[in-house]
Chains A and B, each alone.
Chain A
Amino acid sequence: MANKLQFDLVSPESLVLSAQVDSVSVPGLEGDFGVLPNHSPVMSIIRPGVLVVENDGVVSQYHLDGGFVDVTPEGVTVLAETILTEAQAAERGTSEDA
């Protein structure tokens, strides 16, 4: 579909997610920015924060400890060392509190 963008989320140990999505919100080093299809090309460093992916109204969040994003007209590629899904982050949070 023309109004979707290809999104790849890659960690050194695996390809976490590779899918067509509606939009991605990236915690850039100099401020968050959202990416919609046909975004102009951007390269940015990611600060530790939450990456939000939206597809068909479903929002999923990934906690990143920093990384790198490459936006091209074809899509978005995020490279990050540690990627936690919301559930994993919650689990880690509770285990640290305990």
Chain B
Amino acid sequence: MASLKELRNRIASVQATQKITRAMQMVAASKLRRAQEAAEAARPYADRMGAVLGNLAAGITDPQGAPKLLAGTGSEQSHLLIVATAERGLCGGFNSSIARLARADAYRLMAEGKDVKILCVGRKGYDVLKRNFTKELLPMISYQGMKKIGYEQAQEVATQVLGDFENGGFDICKLYYSRFQNVLTQVPTALQIIPAHIEAVEGPDLAGAAYDYEPEEAEILDALLPRNIAIQILRALLENAASEQGARMSAMDNATRNAGEMIDALSITYNRSRQAQITKELIEIISGAEAL
């Protein structure tokens, strides 16, 4: 049985840990609200962009002349996986679940004899994946210490990806991130961004008139597709930021509760052994007095 002093020290240390986890939970909760607002603010742009692209793509009848970003290169040999994760840990299974999804896909593609390249955005994903992959990993992009992820960062990533695509670096690009469903659930998601996956949408009611394009339809599409990539990446980064805070919040909530249970159990043990020791001392005194 541990001595009383040891027990006291352990209780104090668990209490200190509990204080930290509780503080982290509260910080995550307030950051979550901001991250969620940012993710929601990005939605109108992405939605409109999707609608416009859907309209334009529906108008393209000749798949031969379609831009490569939309129709693909015609080959499926090499794949680029963009894995977006957090910069920091202590957020439950958040980083590892994204990495696991990406890793499974990468292995599947490699087994099929495809070339795979992995681009990590965020330090944690890189740390996990470098154990399994070495030559497939591209230098990671990290936004450590960045307060707010905005369009500029997304564009930076998009520029790099598009540059590689122009040079024939890959045929298909997939984006891995965690979709924010609610505070408790974040869904690791794979999204194909090149060639663009565009849903057919119902066009707006034009009242019988036809669209005027200025400049040509194809030129507009050429200008919009790269922008769409940046938007998709931005959306993934923002969803990720919200998911990360949500995951951290629930992880820290669990940790705080566990620490509380541990403190309760330790306090009971501590009180029992304290009482046992007092009883023992009393017995010693009484039996000593009786012996006289």
Chain A residues at the B interface, C-beta cutoff of 8 Å? 8, 10-15, 28-30, 40-45, 68, 70, 72-74, 77, 79, 81-82
**B212 at the A/B interface (Cβ < 8 Å)?**
yes
**Interface SS, A side:** strand
Contacts of B230 in A (CB 8 A): 12
- Given that A43-B220, A72-B206, A74-B204 are contacting pairs, would A10 and B214 also be in contact in the complex, using a CB cutoff of 8 Å? no
Q: List the one stretch of B44-52, B60-68, B71-79, B260-268 in contact with chain A.
A: B44-52
Chain B interface residue number, banded: 20 to 34
Q: A70 near B52 (CB under 8 angstroms)?
A: yes
Residues B44 and A72 in contact, CB atoms below 8 Å apart: no
Q: Contact between B214 and A15 (Cβ–Cβ < 8 Å)?
A: no
Q: In the bound complex, do residue A77 and residue B48 qualify as a contact, i.e. CB atoms below 8 Å apart? A: yes
Shortest B36–chain A CB gap in Å is: 14
- CB distance B223 to A81 under 8 Å? no
Interface pairs (13), CB distance under 8 Å = A8-B44, A13-B41, A13-B42, A30-B214, A41-B210, A42-B212, A43-B52, A45-B215, A45-B223, A68-B223, A70-B52, A72-B206, A81-B151
Q: Are B209 and A68 in contact (CB under 8 A)?
A: no
Distance A11 CA – B205 CA, assembled complex (angstroms):
24
Identify which of A30, A41, A43 contacts B209 (C-beta below 8 A).
Answer: A41
B42–A12 touching, CB < 8 Å: yes
Contact of A28 among B45, B49, B214 (CB under 8 A): B214
B207: chain A residues at CB < 8 Å are 73
- The distance from the CB of A55 to the nearest CB of chain B, in whole angstroms, is 20
Interface check B93, CB cutoff 8 A? no
- Residue from A12, A28, A29, A30 having most chain B Cβ neighbours under 10 A: A12
| Complex CA distance for A28 and B224, rounded to whole angstroms | 15
Residues 141-169 of B, flagged 1 when their CB comes within 8 A of A and 0 if not, give 00000000011001100000000000000
Interface residue ranges of B182-208 to A (CB < 8 Å): 204-207
Q: Is the CB of B52 within 8 A of A68?
A: yes
* Residues of A contacting B251 in the complex (Cβ-Cβ under 8 angstroms): none
User: Which one of B44, B207, B209, B223 has the greatest number of beta carbons of chain A within 10 Å?
Assistant: B44
